[in-house]
């Protein structure tokens, strides 16, 4: 890539990936995207879908770490989808970008190219809040990323399940206090859940939860050791720093 094409792009994964993002104040991919991208470690040949992709951070990060992986990036906002497409080009990644509403009817999703049982891996960072459940950001893009305009988490997970093949893997990140809602949405659809809380500091409550699950599995859930993001000095812990540079999750 040229210096001109790369100007103004944010480095991800220690510079392995570079992304143009919306201006400050809008929703911008960061630590959540890095953690989600490292959650399942998809491989070249996997059919991977990043649902609610925004500018493509999660799916493109997976592709940067697994050369030959061709991600599908699904985003309802045409402007963000265009930015995701440009970011794929910037990084030399062959990605398929679909403009589709995750909460639309099955017929509408199919017309947009989002077909049932068509992916091995689905990664998603769903909106964190139901409409009216919190004070929405005054920035339209940030509000749209964080708040369901219609539908809810269960509807979102239903779509993720519909496009995932039987035995396929789902990875999601959400607020830690939304864990009960996540478990409700996954119940009867997934098993073998691996749940990892994410804490800002070792002495602070969890702020995020990462969940990996297998469609149709009946295996018991596992609660994994927590990830602590920052040490007493405010810097990333060694584990968090390694993940931000593209290292895999350590073996529990």
pLDDT tens string 183-230: 999 999 999 999 999 999 999 999 999 999 999 999 999 999 999 999
Domain architecture of the chain: domains with CATH: 28-129+151-245 (3.40.50.150)
C-alpha–C-alpha distance, residues 36 and 172, integer Å: 7
State the Cα–Cα distance between residues 230 and 234, nearest whole angstrom. Answer: 5
pTM: 0.89
pLDDT for 65 beyond 90 = yes
Alpha-carbon span 159 to 182, nearest angstrom: 14
* pLDDT > 70: percent of the chain: 86
In this predicted model, which residue has the larger pLDDT, 1 or 170? 170
Band (pLDDT 50/70/90 cuts) for residue 129 is: low
What's the mean per-residue pLDDT of the chain? 90
Q: What is the dihedral of CA 94, 65, 46, 36, to 10 degrees?
A: -110
Q: Which residue has the higher pLDDT, 145 or 245?
A: 245
85: left (phi over 0), alpha (psi -120 to 50) or beta: alpha
pLDDT grade, residue 28 (50/70/90)?
confident
Q: Are 99 and 80 in contact (CB under 8 A)?
A: no
Residue 55 has pLDDT above 90, yes or no: yes
Asked if 211 and 195 count as a contact pair (C-beta separation under 8 A), the reply is yes
């Amino acid at each position: 890539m040229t210096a001109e094409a790369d100007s103004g792009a944010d480095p991800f994964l220690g510079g392995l990936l570079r992304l143009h993002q919306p201006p400050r104040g809008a929703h911008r991919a960061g630590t959540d995207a890095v953690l989600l991208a490292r959650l399942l470690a998809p491989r070249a040949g996997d059919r991977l879908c990043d649902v609610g992709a925004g500018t493509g951070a999660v799916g493109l990060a997976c592709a940067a770490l697994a050369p030959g992986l061709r991600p599908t990036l699904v985003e309802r906002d045409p402007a963000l989808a265009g930015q995701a497409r440009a970011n794929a080009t910037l990084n030399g990644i062959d990605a398929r970008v679909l403009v589709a509403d995750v909460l639309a009817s099955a017929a509408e999703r199919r017309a947009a190219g989002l077909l049932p049982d068509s992916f091995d891996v689905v990664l998603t960072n769903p909106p964190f809040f139901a409409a009216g459940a919190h004070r929405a950001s005054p920035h339209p893009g940030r509000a749209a990323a964080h708040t369901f305009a219609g539908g809810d988490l269960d509807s979102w997970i239903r779509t993720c399940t519909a496009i995932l093949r039987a035995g396929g893997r789902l990875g999601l990140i959400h607020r830690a206090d939304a864990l009960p809602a996540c478990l409700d949405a996954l119940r009867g659809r997934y098993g073998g859940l691996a749940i990892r809380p994410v804490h800002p500091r070792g002495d602070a409550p969890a702020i995020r939860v990462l969940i990996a699950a297998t469609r149709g599995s009946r295996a018991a859930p596992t609660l994994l050791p927590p990830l602590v993001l920052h040490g007493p000095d405010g810097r990333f812990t060694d584990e968090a720093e390694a993940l931000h540079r593209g290292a895999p999750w350590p073996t529990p």
